[in-house]
Structure 1
Amino acid sequence: MASNARPTTSQPPTPIQTTMREASIHPSATDPATDLRIDDPSLVVLSSGDTTLVVAPEVGGSIAAYFDVVREHTSQRVLHWLRPATRAALAACDPLRMASFPLFPYCNRIRDARFEFDGRTIDLGGDGNGYAHALHGHAWRRPWRVGTRTASSVELHFEHVPDSEKRGDWPFHYRASQRIELLGDALHVTLAAQNLSEGTMPFGMGHHPYYPRTSNTVITAHVDEMWHADAHVLPTHLGPHGAVDALMRGMSADAFDLDNNFSGWTRSATIAWPDEARSVTMTADAPFDHLVVFAPANDVQLCVEPVTNTTDCFNANEDDGARERSGYRVLQPGEAISAGLNWKPQRD
C-alpha cells in the first residue's frame, strides 16, 4: 500500500567533493552522490573500519548516509548503501531527503487523518503533517535527543507528551528510542517504544530507507500478496500482482510503477546493483512482517521499507479479518516493544 510522500526531484545530485570529518575516519574522497560534509557539528558520525554512518538527530532522528570507502591503488571511491542526504536537505531539516528515517507511532497513511479508537474519534488533522491523509506519525518531524554513544554506536531518544490544546496532536503519551550501530560493515538498528499512557494506545513502527537507484537495480524478496491501492495511495484489497512473482525471482526497480504494501514477507530483502557487483541485504525481526516497495516509474527514488503495519491499518475492518492482516496493534499501559533491523553489504 502506498505509503509515502516523496520529494519531486527526478534529477540525480550534481557530482562534487565530500570532505570527511577526521583523518581517523576517512581521508577526503571524491563522492559523486552528495555534497554532504560530515564535519557538521549537528551530525553524529560512526565508523567501523572503512564503513561510515552519519546520523542526523535533529532531522527526525534520521540516518543521513551509510557508505564504504573503497581504496584502489592510489585512489579511493565511495560506495553508498543508502541514498545519501545533501547539505541542502540537512539545512532544510527535510527527513524525506535523508537516507532513512524512523516511523513512530504508526507507518504509512491514515485516511483523512482520523480513525476510531476505544469509543472516540482520533483526529490528527492540523498537527503540522501537511498531508490530507496523516503520514508516518510525527517522530520523523521532531528532533531526537542523543544518548549514549561510542565510536560505532549511538542511542537516540524521543518522548511524546500529548498537548490537549494543540489541534491534531497524537493523544497518547509514549517513549521511543533507536540504537544505531555499525557491526563491522553491517548496520543494525533497534527500534523500541513504550506506552506511557494510562490507557491503551494503537501503535506501529518502521524505518524508511531510500536506496541508490540505477537502470540495473534489482530487488529480491519473498512476499505472498500485494495490497492494491486507490488514487490516494490507500488500500483497496489484498491480492495477487505481477510484482509478487517478480520479487521472488529478482525484480527490476523499473518493472512496475509501485507504491504498495506487501504481506507475507519473510523479513529479508536484497537490493542489488549487478553491474556494480554489489548488493545489500536487509533483514528484520518480528513484528516487521510487512514490506513497502516504492519504485515509481520514471523516477530516481527507491524505497524498500520494513514496517509493522500496512497503510491505514487503524481504519481496517475488524469483522472481516482485515485488522489482523494489516498488522493492527495495541499497546497496553506500560507495555514496551522492541525489534531489530539489519543491513548487510556484499561486494562480489
Structure 2
Amino acid sequence: MTDDTVLLENEEGLTVEVSPLGGAILTARWRGAPVLVPTPTPGLASQVLGAEACFPLVPFGNRIEGNGFRYEGRDYTLAPNTADPLVLHGEGWLRRWSILRQDRHSVALHDRQAASAATPFAYETVQTITIDGASLTLSLTVANHSADALPYGLGLHPYFPRTPDTRLFAHASRHWTEREGHLPGAAQPVPRDRDFTSGAPLPPGWLNNAFDGWDGKMRVEWPETGLALSLDADESFGVFVLYSPSTEAEFFCFEPMSHRPNAHRRPEGGGLVRLAQGETLEGTVTLRIHALGP
C-alpha cells in the first residue's frame, strides 16, 4: 500500500484496492480470484500507478460530439481532456479526490470541480465504496454548483475479466450502432449476436455499443474459475455500454450509465437529468459474487 491506495478487506475473502487518484478502484478479488481486472486507461490512477479496474463517470459518461452542446438557449463548450479529440467521461476520473472517511470495509471519496474554460460544469461529488460479505456497493452523488441549470449524468466504468468461456446475461430493448468518433449512430433492435437476455458469449471482434431500455440487471459467468458476478443498478441507470477491443483482450467493460452517450447533443429521451443550482443526482450499483452451481 502507498499513500495513494486504500485497502478494503473482510473475513469472507473480498479485497478491494481504491485510490483517491480519479476515485478509481485498482483491483477487486474474491478469495484471490480477480472479479475486476487492472487495465491501463487514460485515467489519473493509470497515469500514476499503471492501471485501474473501475472509475466513476461524472458529470457525464462517454463522449460529446463537437465538444459542445446547446441547452436552454445557451451554448456551452468543453475542451478535450485526453488524447482523444472529443471530451471523454467528464472530469472525475482525471482528478485527485479527497478521503472523507474510511474504515476497513468502506471509503467515501469527495471532489469539488469549478467551472473553467475547459468545462461549464461546477459541481460537488461523493463516491462511497463499501464491501459486505461477497458484495461490493458503489454509490455516486453529484450536486450542481453552477448558477445555470445544466444536464448531468452518472456512470461507472468497470473492467471485468474476459475468458474464453465468459457468458453475459443482460436484457435491453434497443441497441445503438457505432459511428465515426466512437459516437452512437442509429438505434435498432438488439442484434441476435448481441442479445444476452438468456445468456450468451461475447461476440468476436471490436465492441463499443450502447444499449438502452436496460432493466438494471447483469450477470457474468466465468466457468474457468467457477465464479459468477451479478450487478444490480438502481433506477437511475437505464443504459449500459458494452466495450471490448477484441476477442483476445483479457477484459470487457459493462458500463452502467444514467444516459446515452452523446445525449448532450441528442437530448430527447437521452437520460440526462436537469439539475438547477443545489439539486442532486445519485445512483447506486451493487456487485455480488457467487459460486457457479454444478
Normalised by the length of structure 1, the TM-score is 0.78
User: Cα RMSD between the aligned structures?
Assistant: 1.9
Partner of 1:343: 287
**2 CA distance for matches of 1:245 and 1:42?**
38
**1 CA distance for matches of 2:185 and 2:49?**
30
Question: Structure 2 regions of 5+ residues with no counterpart?
Answer: none
TM-superposed CA distance for 1:54, in Å, is 0.4
Partner of 1:225: 174
TM-superposed CA distance for 1:94, in Å, is 6.7
Q: C-alpha offsets along residues 61-105 of structure 1, whole Å, 9 cap, x if unaligned?
A: 100011122xxxxxxxx211101358xx9573378x310000011
**1 CA distance for matches of 2:96 and 2:206?**
33
Q: Which has the higher strand share?
A: 2
**2 CA distance for matches of 1:41 and 1:245?**
42
Among 57, 73, 98, the residue aligned to 1:145: 98
State the one-letter code of the partner of 2:291. Answer: R
Q: C-alpha offsets along residues 255-292 of structure 1, whole Å, 9 cap, x if unaligned?
A: 46320010111101111112322111111001111011
Among 24, 46, 55, the residue aligned to 2:8: 46
Q: Which has the higher helix share?
A: 1
**2 CA distance for matches of 1:219 and 1:200?**
38
Matched residue count: 287
8 A Cα contact 1:125 1:134, kept in partner? yes
When residues 91 and 197 of structure 1 are mapped into structure 2, their CA distance, relative to the original with a 3 A threshold, is closer
Question: Whose radius of gyration is greater, 1 or 2?
Answer: 1
Partner of 1:182: 131
State the one-letter code of the partner of 1:93. Answer: V
When residues 241 and 177 of structure 1 are mapped into structure 2, their CA distance, relative to the original with a 3 A threshold, is same
State the one-letter code of the partner of 2:19. Answer: A
Report matched runs for 1:1-348 at 5 Å: 39-49=1-11, 50-58=13-21, 60-69=22-31, 78-84=32-38, 92-93=47-48, 97-126=51-80, 128-163=81-116, 167=117, 169-243=118-192, 246-255=195-204, 257-300=206-249, 301-316=251-266, 323-324=268-269, 326-348=270-292
Overall identity of the aligned pairs, in %: 27
Question: Structure 1 regions of 5+ residues with no counterpart?
Answer: 1-38, 70-77
Q: C-alpha offsets along residues 234-265 of structure 1, whole Å, 9 cap, x if unaligned?
A: 12221113257631121212446320010111
* Partner SS for 1:280: strand
* Partner SS for 2:3: coil
Runs of 4+ in structure 1 over 3 Å off = 254-257
When residues 254 and 40 of structure 1 are mapped into structure 2, their CA distance, relative to the original with a 3 A threshold, is farther
Q: C-alpha offsets along residues 168-213 of structure 1, whole Å, 9 cap, x if unaligned?
A: x212321001010001121001110111122201111110000111
TM-superposed CA distance for 1:297, in Å, is 2.7
